[in-house]
Amino acid sequence: MSRDSSPHQRQLSSVFASLGDEGRAKRVEDRIVSGITAGILLDGDRLPSEAEMASALGVATMTAREALIALRTRGLVKTTRGREGGTFITLPQGDRASLLHERLTAMSRVELRDLGIHYVAIAATAAELAAKAADDQDLEILRRILDPKTAGNGSPGTIVGDFLLEMAALSQSARLTREHVRLHTDFGSLLSLAHADDTFDAKAIALCDEILGALVTADSAKARSLVGDYVGAGVAWLIAAQAENATKNNQSNKLRPSAT
């Protein structure tokens, strides 16, 4: 994976990475939805053609077509004809959080913790390797990501996400970087719910500053530990959000008139 590609380009590539021999329409649909919930695919973005999508994902064209039909049924894409036609994402920004909360509610606590364990294993290893390999130029790139004067104003968690993705690239392991990008699309999208909490986001950025300090001093153990602290805090926030969602759903069910 090229170091010249931006964090967004890396994540976009992960959305359309091959699904392998077992790819089916539901898996294609889920991959596109994950791209939406991760903020990689935005309202109005144009998707590849059916043939291009099938080729990229390693599935039959009919499978890609079935997935797009399902996405249209859910109101997540629309297809127009003509020279400027194509299939476009139709999810307003405000509805992305609703999709994420639906996914979070559907997950068990065991699934959530397991996903966090997988993510931290990859991200922490990347931090450890980056602490050993990063040079002054690499560190300057990370500083610019965290600098309020140069940081982007994207969706919640963009700064921290871009920092971790760039740090993974500094590990000098293409395979590790690809896996980190894939997991960031999956788990990172859920973490964006936590980052919408300004207090959590500020603490996470402060942790990234500490991680950068560990990279500067080549303290690989500290860098690894700090990534674990970030993911642990994220999982704790999401579990609390799950409990809050469950309470709200129970209250809503109690208020709903019973069928007679």
Q: What is the pLDDT of residues 237-256, one digit of tens each?
A: 999 999 887 787 666 666 66
Which is higher by pLDDT, 88 or 36? 88
Comparing CA positions, the residue from 128, 120, 121 lying closest to residue 219 is: 128
Integer-rounded Cα radius of gyration of the chain: 20
Mean pLDDT of the chain: 87
| Confidence label for 148 from pLDDT (cuts 50, 70 and 90) | confident
Which tokens sit at 135? Answer: 């040079």
Q: Is 18 exposed, middle or buried (0-12, 13-18, 19+ CB in 10 A)?
A: exposed
- Can you give the pLDDT at residue 151? 67
181 vs 188: CA distance, rounded Å: 9
CA atoms within 13 A on the CB side of 61: 4
Which is higher by pLDDT, 125 or 27? 125
Evaluate the CA torsion angle 14, 16, 21, 24 in order and state its sign.
Answer: positive
Question: What percentage of the chain has pLDDT greater than the value 90?
Answer: 58
* pLDDT digit string, tens, across residues 7-56: 777 777 777 776 654 447 888 998 898 888 877 888 899 999 999 999 99
Task: Indicate if the pLDDT at residue 93 is higher than 70.
Answer: no
* pLDDT digit string, tens, across residues 129-143: 999 999 999 999 999
What average pLDDT does the segment 213-222 reach?
97
- Can you give the pLDDT at residue 134? 94
Comparing CA positions, the residue from 193, 227, 31, 179 lying closest to residue 112 is: 193
- Can you give the pLDDT at residue 142? 96
* pLDDT digit string, tens, across residues 160-206: 999 999 999 999 999 999 999 888 888 988 998 999 999 999 999 99
